[in-house]
Structure 1
Amino acid sequence: MRLPSTAHTSRPWRIHEIAPDFRVEDVWALPTPGGPDDLPYLVRQFTDGEEPGKASSSFVYRTLFALRWKLGRLLHLDGAGSGVGGRVPSLRDRLPADLRAAPPGPDSDSLPFRSVYLLHDEWAAELANRTMHGVLHLGWVPDGAGGYRAQMAVLVKPNGLLGAAYMLGIKPFRYVGVYPALLRSIGRRWEETAGQRK
């Protein structure tokens, strides 16, 4: 379920002090009912998850990601030097001492995100290309019924006019295809791995 931006901005997440120049693009409630200490399981699901495009992903999801990577190759959006540590410095360079000293959390084997930090109730990972610098933020929040669930926010810092046009151009595809398929996949895998969290 899509949430208003205030569902993210009203919480005392550490990402606010680290990325104040990024805007909130999307916020979603994830279908991940759990207990107070379950965020590491979800982070592992994201970082060890299947690569978009594998057979078990939805057809729409596979198709949209295949199109995105093909366009990225044609337009040279994802080339060497366009990412984190190339075109933009890592957000890890902005971390306060307490977060810099803590383990950053796992990097993804299947997605182009690099972990920035992992706490008991939030995880941030970043990616960059020629169009933008983005943050995937997972927060672990009370669900209002005595349990907990995840909340996913996408934060972006577009790279000039190209970035603004890119973010506007992909918006309908994100809402029609990517997010619905992603949320279904997250929920399905969360249910399948419920026994590992007992």
Structure 2
Amino acid sequence: MRLPKSAHASRPWRIHEFTSDFSVEDVWAFRTPGAGPDDFPTMLAAMRATGGLMKQPWLARFLFAVRWKLGALLGWDEPSAGVGERVASLRDCLPSDIRDAPRGPDNESMPLKAIYELDMESARELANKTVHTVMHLGWVQGANRDYELRMAVLVKPNGWFGRLYMSAIAPFRYLIVYPALTRKWERAWRDRSHAGAEYEEGMSG
């Protein structure tokens, strides 16, 4: 479910401390019936167990494949345009109490790399020739008193081309990518016991 940008801006998230030069692009909520205040790590583990981009529905996979192909042809995703090259990682801006906290795992199926992972929120970042973007996940008590997952996408476009790029992909995000994520992540919560077992097995193997 899409939420107003104020749903993210009004929360006392730690991410606000070092993203003042980013704009909030999208805010989305994912239902997690029966969730409590301590279930954020459980939700993250369930999401990871469902796999990365290759486990998306076919239409979302097709869009990502087209995007990466275009990026390869036009040089959008060259290492020189990434985090640590074109832009500094937000990890370099973290207060010491967050810098010393666990960051969360990275893997090849997730192009966004971990910045930090706390009890109630986490953040990942990606940069290329179009944007520097942050995916922020937060754990919030919803209207029915259950806790729910919220995702905010923060962006810093790379000039006019980055702004044009974000406008061009907006219909695909709202009509295909976010609905697919909603189905996948909400199903991950429903199937979390099975997903958690698969995740632990994969980590131990």
- Structure with bigger helix share is 2
How much does 1:144 deviate? 2.3
When residues 29 and 48 of structure 1 are mapped into structure 2, their CA distance, relative to the original with a 3 A threshold, is same
Query: 2:156 matched to 1:192?
Result: no
Aligned to 1:169: 168
- Is the 8 Å Cα contact of residues 43 and 192 (structure 2) preserved in structure 1? no
Query: 2:61 matched to 1:58?
Result: no
> Deviation per CA, 1:138-188, whole angstroms, max 9, x where unpaired?
000001223211110000000011111111111111111111111111112
Runs of 4+ with deviation above 6 angstroms: none
Aligned to 2:74: 75
Q: How does 1:127-138 map to 2 (within 5 A)?
A: 127-138=126-137
Tell me how far apart the structure 1 counterparts of residues 45 and 129 of structure 2 sit (CA, whole Å). 28
How much does 1:71 deviate? 1.1
RMSD: 1.7
Q: How does 1:1-198 map to 2 (within 5 A)?
A: 1-33=1-33, 34-54=35-55, 57-194=56-193
Comparing 60-69 and 6-15, the one that deviates more: 60-69
Tell me how far apart the structure 2 counterparts of residues 42 and 72 of structure 1 sit (CA, whole Å). 31
When residues 142 and 25 of structure 1 are mapped into structure 2, their CA distance, relative to the original with a 3 A threshold, is same
Tell me how far apart the structure 2 counterparts of residues 170 and 148 of structure 1 sit (CA, whole Å). 30
> Deviation per CA, 1:50-79, whole angstroms, max 9, x where unpaired?
22234xx31211111111111111111111
- Name the SS for the 1:53 alignment partner: helix
Which amino acid is the alignment partner of residue 38 of structure 2? D
- Name the SS for the 1:89 alignment partner: coil
> Which 5+ residue runs of structure 2 have no aligned equivalent?
197-205
- Is the 8 Å Cα contact of residues 61 and 182 (structure 1) preserved in structure 2? no
- Is the 8 Å Cα contact of residues 31 and 149 (structure 1) preserved in structure 2? yes
Identical positions, percent: 53
- Name the SS for the 2:126 alignment partner: strand
Comparing 148-157 and 99-108, the one that deviates more: 99-108
How much does 1:196 deviate? 6.9
> Deviation per CA, 1:14-39, whole angstroms, max 9, x where unpaired?
00011111000000011223111111
- Is the 8 Å Cα contact of residues 143 and 149 (structure 1) preserved in structure 2? yes
How much does 1:105 deviate? 2.2
When residues 11 and 108 of structure 1 are mapped into structure 2, their CA distance, relative to the original with a 3 A threshold, is farther
- Is the 8 Å Cα contact of residues 32 and 187 (structure 1) preserved in structure 2? yes
Tell me how far apart the structure 2 counterparts of residues 188 and 106 of structure 1 sit (CA, whole Å). 22
Which amino acid is the alignment partner of residue 78 of structure 1? D
Which amino acid is the alignment partner of residue 59 of structure 2? V
